[in-house]
Amino acid sequence: CSPAASCGRGHCNKKSSCYSGQLLVVFILLSQGYRAPRIRGRVGQPRCLITEEQLQFLLSFNFTVQQIADILGVSRRTVTQRLRQHNITIRGRYSNMTNAELDERVIDLVHGNDELGPDAVRARLFGEGIVVQRRRVRQSLLRTNPAGAALRAMSHRLHRRTYRVAGPNSLWHLDGNHKLIRWRIVIHGGIDGFNRMIVFLQASNNNRSSTVMEQFVHAVDQFGVPSRVRCDHGGENNAVSRGSALRGRSTLNQRIERLWRDVWNGLSNVYHSLFTLLEQDGILDINSETHLWALQYVYMPRIDRDLQHFVNQWNHHGLRTTRYMSPYRMFVRGCLRLQSQNLTERVAVPANTFAVEPGRLQELQHRVDPLAGSRDGMGVDLLQEVLSFLLS
């Protein structure tokens, strides 16, 4: 990514497509807080220096005009004048795609998952660079999946305890999700307690502490070092757990436990139902190491792909309790505001004893792409092809 936005002090941020890089730049470079610098002329009040790149950067996170004014420490009128000066229009950012095109994209995103509502779909579209009004997304869901809309309308809203954290990177919540443990698949995740931004979310075929540590270090490279982490007594957290770790029961790890419900609604339930159906139809035998290896070969890349889509959706969706600000926006605003002011439980995942010779594996990778095929097929034909290859 090439430099795109100046912070007014000679520093640069990244293009809006590289969100994690942008957030790290904001967190590190604004160590003394930020206000739009003033330029003194010969007469009149000093002029606020606000560049076009700064405005585009903040708009790429969907900040409103008033929120941009608060961040830059200027009036709403000043921001409006600068937008007009640089020929930037808020309405011009909305997509002009037709209803038919929108319906087709919504069907592809939802793909039979009735748990995805308008806000989730709109966030996924925004993550892909498609800005659509909420009313259009809501109408599209009613046209394409009226039964799902009725199901969501009858669901009950959860009531949770009040939760407060000082600011971004003050406390990260880490945990592993074992909904797919029957097929030796574990999803490890981390979430910022202040803004509910997902810092990492990835599927693995093991529950080792080195796996969690690798994902944690990658998240630190993207978003900075957290002051504290909260996790349970699971052995997979041993490498991350140091003096700054708060360890306790999983039920007290509220932020990440709540996230697992949304991960289940967003994608885990689809794979759980699919794998169960494969067992019932006799296609998959979980007592066979070969079958489990083939299952993970085909579906682990698919699960990781869908997890990244979910992260993109989640970090862009508006939170009701924060006036519908997204986790990304809360992270940026929170960074700016802050700168100015041995009992171990273990869940063992058995290692797969089946192995493929390097030459055969290379041939398999050349013949079968786990991410290929239509979504309607759900990868079942690929799984059968892999099993046929391995058993031949």
Question: Where residue 8 falls among pLDDT bands split at 50, 70, 90?
Answer: very low
Question: Do residues 88 and 138 share a domain?
Answer: no
Query: Per the domain annotation, does 353 fall within a domain?
Result: no
Instruction: Identify the pLDDT of residue 282.
Output: 93
Task: Please report, for residues 78, 90, 95, 104, 319, the alpha-carbon distance to residue 132 in angstroms, rounded to integers and kept in the order given.
Answer: 26, 12, 6, 14, 17
Distance CA 77, CA 250 (A): 48
Average pLDDT, stretch 56-74?
82
Distance CA 101, CA 196 (A): 32
Pick the range with the lowest mean pLDDT from 176-180, 193-197, 229-233.
229-233
Question: Do residues 335 and 210 share a domain?
Answer: yes
Q: What percent of the chain has pLDDT over 70?
A: 76
Question: Do residues 83 and 203 share a domain?
Answer: no
Query: Per the domain annotation, does 363 fall within a domain?
Result: no
CATH number at residue 114: 1.10.10
Q: Residue 94: pLDDT above 60?
A: yes
Distance CA 300, CA 180 (A): 11
Instruction: Identify the pLDDT of residue 187.
Output: 95
Q: Residue 181: pLDDT above 90?
A: yes
- Is the distance from CB of 126 to CB of 137 less than 8 angstroms? no
Dihedral sign computed on CA atoms, order 193, 199, 205, 210? negative
Question: Do residues 74 and 220 share a domain?
Answer: no
Query: Per the domain annotation, does 307 fall within a domain?
Result: yes
Average pLDDT, stretch 183-204?
93
Amino acid making up residue 262? D
More confident residue, 210 or 246: 210
Pick the range with the lowest mean pLDDT from 250-264, 313-327, 330-344.
330-344
Question: Do residues 13 and 85 share a domain?
Answer: yes
Question: Do residues 264 and 320 share a domain?
Answer: yes
Instruction: Identify the pLDDT of residue 153.
Output: 66
CB burial of residue 225 (10 Å; 0-12, 13-18, 19+): exposed
Average pLDDT, stretch 228-244?
65
Pick the range with the lowest mean pLDDT from 228-232, 249-253, 298-302.
249-253
Question: Do residues 220 and 250 share a domain?
Answer: yes
Distance CA 302, CA 305 (A): 5
Domain of residue 145, residue span: 94-153
Query: Per the domain annotation, does 347 fall within a domain?
Result: no
When the pLDDT of each residue in the chain is averaged and rounded to a whole number, the result is 79
Give the residue from 321, 340, 359 where a domain finishes: 340
Distance CA 131, CA 62 (A): 9
3-state secondary structure 163-225: CCCCCCCCEEEEEEECCCHHHCCEEEEEEECCCCCEEEEEEECCCCHHHHHHHHHHHHHHHCC
Give the residue from 92, 112, 127 where a domain finishes: 92
Q: Residue 290: pLDDT above 90?
A: yes
Question: Where residue 247 falls among pLDDT bands split at 50, 70, 90?
Answer: low
Instruction: Identify the pLDDT of residue 66.
Output: 87
Query: Per the domain annotation, does 209 fall within a domain?
Result: yes
Place of tokens 């063992």: 348
Q: Residue 314: pLDDT above 50?
A: yes
CB burial of residue 312 (10 Å; 0-12, 13-18, 19+): middle
Give the residue from 70, 92, 114 where a domain finishes: 92
> Interhelix angle for 19-29 vs 209-223, to 10°?
70
Place of tokens 């709540």: 258
Query: Per the domain annotation, does 362 fall within a domain?
Result: no
Q: Residue 171: pLDDT above 50?
A: yes
Query: Per the domain annotation, does 348 fall within a domain?
Result: no
Question: Where residue 246 falls among pLDDT bands split at 50, 70, 90?
Answer: low
Q: Residue 37: pLDDT above 70?
A: no
Task: Please report, for residues 97, 174, 210, 218, 270, the alpha-carbon distance to residue 180 in angstroms, rounded to integers and kept in the order given.
Answer: 38, 18, 20, 24, 11
Question: Do residues 88 and 99 share a domain?
Answer: no
Instruction: Identify the pLDDT of residue 27.
Output: 47
Q: Residue 341: pLDDT above 90?
A: no
Distance CA 171, CA 193 (A): 6
Q: What is the pLDDT of residues 100-155, one digit of tens each?
A: 988 888 888 887 677 777 888 888 888 888 888 888 988 888 888 887 777 766 66
Pick the range with the lowest mean pLDDT from 41-45, 62-66, 147-151, 174-178.
41-45
Question: Do residues 193 and 106 share a domain?
Answer: no
Question: Do residues 264 and 118 share a domain?
Answer: no
Question: Do residues 117 and 217 share a domain?
Answer: no
Question: Where residue 9 falls among pLDDT bands split at 50, 70, 90?
Answer: very low
Instruction: Identify the pLDDT of residue 23.
Output: 54
Q: Residue 33: pLDDT above 60?
A: no
- What is the count of structural domains for the chain? 3
Question: Do residues 184 and 46 share a domain?
Answer: no
Q: Residue 283: pLDDT above 90?
A: yes
Instruction: Identify the pLDDT of residue 161.
Output: 60
Instruction: Identify the pLDDT of residue 279.
Output: 94
Instruction: Identify the pLDDT of residue 158.
Output: 56
CATH number at residue 217: 3.30.420.10
